[in-house]
């Protein structure tokens, strides 16, 4: 079928809206009419070749829409169902078998190869193959092919125009706090970097009753929003040493720290901010090969820990509906992060995100 899609053809360059041909769904695939799609930092990182993902390619991995057609083997959804498309996974490796699909042994092949796992490419323009299947969807397009494993059915009354970011950015931040770090009532958390991921972590911590939630960033406007969404303290790292500020606030450090900026030296600050037995979670994605140094005595002698977190350790079929319900109850106001754009304005939306003018851009296909 003919679709409109935003094609990435070069790093640090605008995407172009082009007419492409999209394959019909295979037995285990789902064709989704995209209603809205979030723009994530990962899309921009892949555009700029932070990972060896082939181009030209259609990116987009926070899609929400309506099932147009389900393959013959699909039982999870049917035509007309409202869905969110999230990350893909193999369903067969040890991690997937242990309900830890975010650490699928084939995660790169299923999400970053630019093709289906069998190597086939579902998009083309005339005789030119356009790489797709990004995060099992490539949803910077009017229609997307996803897979039964990475499609999540949502309630009929759920607002599709804002749900896409639950698939990655918001899921990553909230899930890191609730599923991975397991921050508890009365505990303390410092969040380094308050973009959409960090702000989602702050909202989740506030929702479950963390006593001290410290937001660290360089932009005062972001810090003000963090305070409105649940941060008890804010620190502008451009004006004061964040480790010293956190120690002054807490006395001995935080129970948990969360690094979402993707800046290697900030990881060290996040670790240095920990109290004894504290745990630092890392979700930021610096370029391949990035390194930082840690004081091993500081780490070992007080039982501190560091762990990487992917997609918030989430089981999307469970966690995404939970976030939708918490939003419905007014306890998780992630809509405050979102600014809507028409699909044709994708490059303006990306520019606003990179400049910090927009926390979470969402593209509306019919706007």
Dump pLDDT digits (tens) for 100-124. 999 999 999 999 999 999 999 999 9
Backbone angles phi, psi at 190, to 5 degrees: -115, 125
Checking if the pLDDT of 60 tops 70, the result is: yes
Note if the pTM is more than 0.75.
yes
**How far apart are alpha carbons 329 and 37 in whole angstroms?**
23
Neighbours of 98 (CB within 10 A): 9
Distance, C-alpha 65 to centroid of its chain: 17
Domain total for the chain? 2
Asked whether residue 300 is assigned to any structural domain, the reply reads yes
Question: What pLDDT does 367 receive?
Answer: 59
In the predicted model, what is the mean pLDDT of residues 330-344? 98
Helices 196-208 and 220-228, axial angle in degrees (round to 10): 30
Tell me the CATH number at 340.
Answer: 3.90.180.10
Q: Which residue has 């991690």 as its token pair?
A: 95
Q: Are residues 20 and 160 in the same domain?
A: yes
**Between 319 and 261, where is the model more confident?**
319
Contacts of 53 (CB under 8 A, 6+ apart): 46, 112, 113, 114, 131, 134
Q: Does residue 279 sit in the same domain as residue 341?
A: no
- Residue 226 confidence (pLDDT): 98
Closest CA to 313 of 94, 101, 84, 41: 101
Domain shared by 214 and 305, yes or no: yes
13 plus 124 within the same structural domain: yes
Instruction: Mark whether 197 and 295 lie in a shared domain.
Output: yes
- The answer to whether residue 67 is domain-embedded is yes
The domain in which residue 105 lies consists of 2-167+333-364
**Same domain, residue pair 70 and 180:** no
326 within domain boundaries: no
Q: What is the CATH number of the domain that holds 296?
A: 3.40.50.720
């Amino acid at each position: 079928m003919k679709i409109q899609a935003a094609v990435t053809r070069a790093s640090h360059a605008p995407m172009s809206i082009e007419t492409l041909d999209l394959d019909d769904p295979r037995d285990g695939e789902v064709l989704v009419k995209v209603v809205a799609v979030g723009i994530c930092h990962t899309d921009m990182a892949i555009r700029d070749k932070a990972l060896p993902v082939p181009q030209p390619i259609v990116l987009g991995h926070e899609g929400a829409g309506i099932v147009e057609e389900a393959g013959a083997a699909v039982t999870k959804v049917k035509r007309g169902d409202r869905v969110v498309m999230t990350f893909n996974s193999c369903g067969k490796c040890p991690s997937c078998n242990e309900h830890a699909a975010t650490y699928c042994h084939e995660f790169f092949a299923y999400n970053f190869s630019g093709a289906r796992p069998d190597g086939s490419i579902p998009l083309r323009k005339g005789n030119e193959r356009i790489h797709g299947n990004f995060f099992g969807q490539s949803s910077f397009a009017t229609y997307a092919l996803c897979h039964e494993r990475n499609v999540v059915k949502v309630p009929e009354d759920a607002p599709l125009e804002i749900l896409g970011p639950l698939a990655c950015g918001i899921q990553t931040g909230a899930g890191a706090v609730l599923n991975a770090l397991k921050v508890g009532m009365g505990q303390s958390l410092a969040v380094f970097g308050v973009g959409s991921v960090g702000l989602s972590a702050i909202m989740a911590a506030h929702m479950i009753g963390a006593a001290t939630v410290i937001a660290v960033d360089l932009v005062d406007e972001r810090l003000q929003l963090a305070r409105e969404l649940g941060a008890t303290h804010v620190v502008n790292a451009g004006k004061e040493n964040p480790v010293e500020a956190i120690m002054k606030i807490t006395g001995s450090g935080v129970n948990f720290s969360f690094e979402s900026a993707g800046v290697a030296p900030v990881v060290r600050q996040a670790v240095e901010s920990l109290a004894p037995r504290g745990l630092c979670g890392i979700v930021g994605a610096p370029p391949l090969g990035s390194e930082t140094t840690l004081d091993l005595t500081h780490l070992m002698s007080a039982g501190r820990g560091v762990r990487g977190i992917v997609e918030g350790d989430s089981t999307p079929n469970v966690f995404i509906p939970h976030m939708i319900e918490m939003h419905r109850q007014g306890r998780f106001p992630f809509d405050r992060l979102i600014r809507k754009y028409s699909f044709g304005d994708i490059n303006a939306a990306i520019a606003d995100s990179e400049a910090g003018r927009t926390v979470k851009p969402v593209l509306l296909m019919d706007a």
